[in-house]
Structure 1
Amino acid sequence: MNVLDRTLYPRMDSQRIIPLILWPITVMMIIQRSLILGVNGHRTDDFTPVYDAAFKFLNRLPVYNENYSTVDPHYLYPPSGTLLMSPLAVIDPQTSRWLFIAASVVVLIVCAYLLTRMFGFDHRSWVLPVVLFFFFSTETVAHTLIFTNFNAFVLLGLLAFMMLMLGRHDLWAGVAIGLTLAVKPVLAPLLLLVLLNRQWRILITAVGVPLLLNVVAWPLSNDPMDFVKRTVPYLGETRDYYNSSITGNAAYFGVDGWLTWVLRIAFVAMAAFSLWFLYKYYRRTDELLWLATSSGVLLGTTFLVGSLGQGYYSMMLFPLLMTVFRPGSTMRNWPAWLGVYGAMTFDVFASNEWEPFGRYLEYNKVPLGWSLLMISVFCVLLFRYLDIRQAGENADRGPAADDGARATLGS
């Protein structure tokens, strides 16, 4: 190539082109999601109840005396969570909220970096801008900033827990997940993976940290027993608003109880098989793939079959999605990513022309997305199990039987 051609048609590697495109778009998306949508807020305001509870806690006023019959966001954190949130009320509400949004954005960027590094990619590669772009294009991240809730910090705790668990830093892994459990128990199902992997020491700090924080917070609270008497029973109820779980969806649309139970049992059964297969065939050969996929199965199933599943919980499935870069991933099929679209899209399906159908899609996109994602993972693992079983049967029959089987299939 002569000088003229090199000048007119400079070569650029595709791995440089992707960051070149995505970095400016992603930076502008982060600014728009935080400084515009986040600061604008929404009628759903998760921050104000937390700020009010922190203010009451610091001033020794009752915290758990809300009217749970309304559809407004309620304060549901235990005394340990109130203790951790109490510094928010040291300054005025607006400044506190803006600082919380800023901290959430920083945490989400750190999470994208950790996820990139955890799966073996350099932070200078094209993967980091792709992950960041995906993060901030989703409903789960956008509404975490707009509603201003704690989910970004839960995701950070999840990734820190997984990386420390893989690195065999057990006590610190327990601290990471224990701090999230002290505020909200979203990640509690992952303690099952700790038991399966026989990393018992994680449980010491995973249980000890929230327990210790509650011991400290209990005498400082005005009404800690009301959390047990009023809030805990409410947490066990199924509400028919802002609830994408099977039971919440059934309550809203009036689905019969027997069908609700059939669906819940079916998803638990699929999760049990998936966890068994992943434990048997992947834990020793690819521990990262086992941990990331198993955590996604556990959390996704919990969101579906529990009493409360909110759409912005979907960010806890990011490690499962990231497994697409590893051989053996259950995410290398289009139905799984159609499920991801349903669970995480920021698109709105409300329609003026087809109002009932649009409303149905809008209210069901998250539960349908979670469902399709969990079904896709189950089917991939089931087909692999059947292939392994078939290969074993053919090996037992010998070459002649194997040739006969091929002849039968060929006919």
Structure 2
Amino acid sequence: MFLRQLEPRTARTTAEVLNFALWPLAVLTVLNRVFIKAVNGYITDDFRPVYNASLAFLNHKAVYNANFSSTDPHYLYPPSGTLLISPLAIIDPEKSRWGFILINAIAIMLAGYLLLRLFDYTLGSVAAPALLLAMFSSETVTNTLVFTNINGCLFLAMVVFIHLLLRRQDLWAGVVLGLVISVKGPLLAPLILIALARGQWKTLITAAGVPIALNLLAWPLIVDYKQFWTHTLPYLAESRDYFNSAIVGNAGYYGVAGWLTLLIRVVLGVMVAISLWLLYRYYRDDEVFFICTSSGLLITAMLVLGSLGQMYYSMFLFPILMTVVQRNSVMRNWPAWVAVFGFMSYDKWLSDRWQSIGRSLDYLRVTFGWGLLLIVVFCVLGDRYLAARREGRLVTGKTLDPAWMHPESEADPIRNGKPRTAIPEPVNG
């Protein structure tokens, strides 16, 4: 039966045409990224320091002895993360790296499937190959695999966390988020605010308990445990001016005045706070929209307003991008996708002819992309709020959306033209 699906046929509908076109492009792009680009590697190697730290841990040697005066990738995982990733060093580094690439690729594809299910799509829909192609064509997935880091596994954990939140499995959701915090520290920690806003307080118990327990467990096993707190953690708190697309990183590189850097961060921070308030006040009952949009807003703010933001962390913004299939999505406008191009595109803007301009475009596009996304969300939600106030629609418990955003009977072309909700036949007489 499966082989019958591969039989060449002539498409009869627009959905079939798109499926037949997109699936080969998506599958071949995945194969290229995993078995060619990733295996080839690059001068940037995130895997080597992780493997060396794991090997040192298993052999009871010092782990946190990195020389931070160089710009090479450093080992920055907390002791809890060291404990979790140490099995990497059980086999030789080449096979371990290949296995890690494959694990991350599978994790990304599983996360993509769970995203489809989150929005009620199946593998038979056009959305499936479109999402797969978009993910593996992006910089974030490509460089996650090429540099060989753990972001793919963390992305899967994030999507699982969202599913568990929606199912009200609070303690398990906290366990998943706690494991992510144990490895990557504060990067996805703001997601706990979404659980708290929804009244799912039990999530906090395991989200905090898991990293605390793992750090206590790692304490007697790591010979230089204290070095993480005295040597590595202070470095993590610094805002470096290289390989850093956060506002402070590029401001430091280009010599922007401190007061102006602070002003930009404060203004964007106020926009984020207002956007989060509007989402909480008017959209928290629209669960998928609320969680995915809020998560994208929080993580983008963490990347662009924090001390360190790297382009491949944009992987965690796929849920907010996926909301584009919803009629009330904040992503249904062209400035939003200018922003997405800035932080997702694999293109390089370095120019041999206009070197200075090209370098600035390439270095700043990620920062501008993240910043523009925050501005877009603020403007879209703010405009809806003002329109609803003018029209007298500011009712507690109701969304800010105008009526046309929620027609129950309109067909969805991405779902092969079938309406999401069956409409009863009219009764005659």
Per the alignment, residue 65 of structure 1 pairs with 65
Structure 1 residue 196, shift from structure 2 partner: 1.2
Per the alignment, residue 227 of structure 1 pairs with 228
How big is each residue's C-alpha offset from its partner over 1:295-331, in whole Å with a ceiling of 9 and x where there is no partner? 1111101101100000000010000001111121100
Structure 1 residue 258, shift from structure 2 partner: 0.5
Give 1:374's aligned amino acid: L
Distance 1:82 1:392, change over 3 A: same
Per the alignment, residue 260 of structure 2 pairs with 259
Distance 1:11 1:104, change over 3 A: closer
1:117–1:123 contact (8 Å) kept in structure 2: no
1:66–1:74 contact (8 Å) kept in structure 2: yes
Higher helix share: 1
**Distance in structure 1 (CA, Å) of the matches to 2:189 and 2:393:** 40
Per the alignment, residue 272 of structure 1 pairs with 273
How big is each residue's C-alpha offset from its partner over 1:154-202, in whole Å with a ceiling of 9 and x where there is no partner? 1111100001001101111111111111100210111111221110111
Per the alignment, residue 350 of structure 2 pairs with 350
Structure 1 residue 394, shift from structure 2 partner: 12
How big is each residue's C-alpha offset from its partner over 1:188-220, in whole Å with a ceiling of 9 and x where there is no partner? 111111221110111111111111111111110
- When the two structures are superposed, what TM-score results if normalisation uses the length of structure 1? 0.92
Per the alignment, residue 401 of structure 1 pairs with none
How big is each residue's C-alpha offset from its partner over 1:121-169, in whole Å with a ceiling of 9 and x where there is no partner? 1122111111100000100000000100010011111100001001101
1:331–1:337 contact (8 Å) kept in structure 2: yes
**Distance in structure 1 (CA, Å) of the matches to 2:124 and 2:173:** 27
Q: Return structure 1 stretches of 4+ with deviation > 3 angstroms.
A: none
**Distance in structure 2 (CA, Å) of the matches to 1:69 and 1:305:** 24
1:213 and 2:214 aligned: yes
**Distance in structure 2 (CA, Å) of the matches to 1:205 and 1:157:** 15
**Distance in structure 2 (CA, Å) of the matches to 1:10 and 1:42:** 41
**Distance in structure 2 (CA, Å) of the matches to 1:324 and 1:66:** 43
Structure 1 residue 393, shift from structure 2 partner: 9.6
SS for the counterpart of 1:392 is coil
Structure 1 residue 11, shift from structure 2 partner: 5.9
How big is each residue's C-alpha offset from its partner over 1:230-271, in whole Å with a ceiling of 9 and x where there is no partner? 111111100111100000010111111011001110111010
Per the alignment, residue 140 of structure 2 pairs with 140
2:174–2:206 contact (8 Å) kept in structure 1: yes
**Distance in structure 2 (CA, Å) of the matches to 1:126 and 1:393:** 36
SS for the counterpart of 1:303 is helix
Q: Structure 2 matches for 1:105-120, cutoff 5 A?
A: 105-120=105-120
**Distance in structure 2 (CA, Å) of the matches to 1:359 and 1:309:** 18
Aligned residues: 386
Per the alignment, residue 172 of structure 1 pairs with 172
Show structure 2 runs of 5+ residues with no match.
Answer: 1-8, 396-429
SS for the counterpart of 2:188 is helix
Per the alignment, residue 74 of structure 1 pairs with 74
**Distance in structure 2 (CA, Å) of the matches to 1:147 and 1:265:** 33
Structure 1 residue 10, shift from structure 2 partner: 6.1
Work out the percentage of aligned pairs sharing the same amino acid.
51
**Distance in structure 2 (CA, Å) of the matches to 1:145 and 1:82:** 20
SS for the counterpart of 2:332 is coil
Distance 1:109 1:393, change over 3 A: closer
Structure 1 residue 78, shift from structure 2 partner: 0.6
SS for the counterpart of 2:125 is coil
Q: Structure 2 matches for 1:370-381, cutoff 5 A?
A: 370-381=370-381
**Distance in structure 1 (CA, Å) of the matches to 2:376 and 2:16:** 33
1:246 and 2:247 aligned: yes
**Distance in structure 2 (CA, Å) of the matches to 1:53 and 1:24:** 39
**Distance in structure 1 (CA, Å) of the matches to 2:244 and 2:11:** 51
**Distance in structure 2 (CA, Å) of the matches to 1:11 and 1:47:** 44
1:39–1:146 contact (8 Å) kept in structure 2: yes
- When the two structures are superposed, what TM-score results if normalisation uses the length of structure 2? 0.88
Structure 1 residue 361, shift from structure 2 partner: 0.5
Per the alignment, residue 325 of structure 1 pairs with 325
How big is each residue's C-alpha offset from its partner over 1:39-75, in whole Å with a ceiling of 9 and x where there is no partner? 1111111000000000000011010011111101000
2:279–2:294 contact (8 Å) kept in structure 1: yes
2:388–2:394 contact (8 Å) kept in structure 1: no
**Distance in structure 2 (CA, Å) of the matches to 1:199 and 1:182:** 21
1:107–1:156 contact (8 Å) kept in structure 2: yes
SS for the counterpart of 1:76 is coil
**Distance in structure 2 (CA, Å) of the matches to 1:224 and 1:210:** 15
2:330–2:377 contact (8 Å) kept in structure 1: yes
Q: Structure 2 matches for 1:27-176, cutoff 5 A?
A: 27-176=27-176
Q: Structure 2 matches for 1:289-300, cutoff 5 A?
A: 289-300=289-300
1:47–1:149 contact (8 Å) kept in structure 2: yes
1:138–1:346 contact (8 Å) kept in structure 2: yes
Show structure 1 runs of 5+ residues with no match.
Answer: 1-8, 396-411
**Distance in structure 2 (CA, Å) of the matches to 1:390 and 1:120:** 34
Give 1:179's aligned amino acid: L
